[in-house]
Amino acid sequence: MWCRLRSRPAQAWYSPEVAIAVSAVLIGVDIGTSSTKAVALSPDGDVLGLAAHDTPVDTPHPGWAEQVPEAWLRATLATMRAAVAAAGVAPEAVQAIGLAGQMHGTVAVGSAGVPLRPAVIWADQRSSVQVEHVLTTLGDERLAAWTGNPVATGFMLPTWLWLRDCEPGVVDATRWLLLPKDYVRYRLTGAVGTEPSDAGSTSLFDPLRRLWSAPLLEALELDGGPLPPIYNSCDVAGTLLPEMAKAAGLVPGIPIIFGGSDQAMQALGNGVVAPGVVSSTIGTGGQLFAPTSLPVVDAPRLRMHSYCHVLPGTWHVESAMLSAGLSL
């Protein structure tokens, strides 16, 4: 049995009082679970136009949660076009694009750049056996030392192990394992990569050294070749490809920034960037987010997550639950 949530076309909004004449526009895109959102901003932070497009979640089996990566791309292109139209600015005014996205999910991409199967997203529960295997093989002490984080179903590590156990043909054909926003950015630019704030959500990453965890990969007999190179969140990943620019109603060559995880990016936007301030968000899932000046690991119990923030030399602790807005 499976179901697909109904998708709606991009919807756009803007406020006439802020639709002012601007010579430069920045676009931010959030690849969420239930929808993809885009915002057109002035360099001073004035909101000029907003747009959103629903994205379906498939449940082909009880406890599974999958999305079609191409649906994220279509929604991204549609919302960027709608946000610029809502802002009432010329496409030539767009100077840069940045991305945020849902965390933890896994897109297995083949050598031709095409997803080999639907993406397994954060809400997926199929990999409980693999989670138990990680905990039994590594134990909390080594997991804390190597990744600083708990492991849970829906994260890239247990999903990768599930694919190895249950769909080995997919693993054999995989060239890259990408997080949701990183797949979309790859399609927009042709460049492969990720950044620390989202890489930490995979359970494969060392947030202190800001590298993929080599001892973890060795202990679990995983080849790190499919894991993408890591850049700074603020780095330019590439530029908008001509075919993508045409589909979005934009001009080719616009710089696209690596961006960050949805939680780190909402914190940046809300000014939650230094210790002493905490954010609480209720989206499809719910999170508490607290910045730290040093990595803080909840050892040995690993009840909380310890991730890199999008700002250099900054980290955050995070607690989360799956059944927030998704319960509706």
d(C-alpha 54, C-alpha 96), whole Å: 24
d(C-alpha 278, C-alpha 52), whole Å: 27
Q: What does the angle CA 127 – CA 99 – CA 177 come to, to the nearest 5 degrees? A: 35
Residue 177 and residue 106 in contact, taking contact as beta carbons nearer than 8 Å:
yes
46 is catalytic: no
Residue 179 and residue 194 in contact, taking contact as beta carbons nearer than 8 Å:
yes
Q: Which of 30, 44, 262, 298 is catalytic?
A: 262
Q: Taking the CB of residue 290, how many other CB atoms lie within 10 A of it?
A: 18
The dihedral built from the CA positions of residue 231, 236, 242 and 246, taken in this order, carries a sign that is: positive
Q: What does the angle CA 90 – CA 94 – CA 98 come to, to the nearest 5 degrees? A: 145
Type of residue at 110: G
Which single residue is written with the structure tokens 């042709």?
190
Residue 200 and residue 308 in contact, taking contact as beta carbons nearer than 8 Å:
yes
Which single residue is written with the structure tokens 């460049």?
191
* Three-class DSSP category at 72: helix
Q: Alpha carbon of 155 to those of 34, 70, 133, 202, 279: distances in Å?
A: 18, 20, 14, 5, 22
What is the per-residue burial (b if ≥16 Cβ within 10 Å, else e) of 47-74? bbbbbbbbbebbbeeeebbbbbbebbbb
d(C-alpha 58, C-alpha 257), whole Å: 29
For the annotated catalytic residues, the residue numbers are: 262
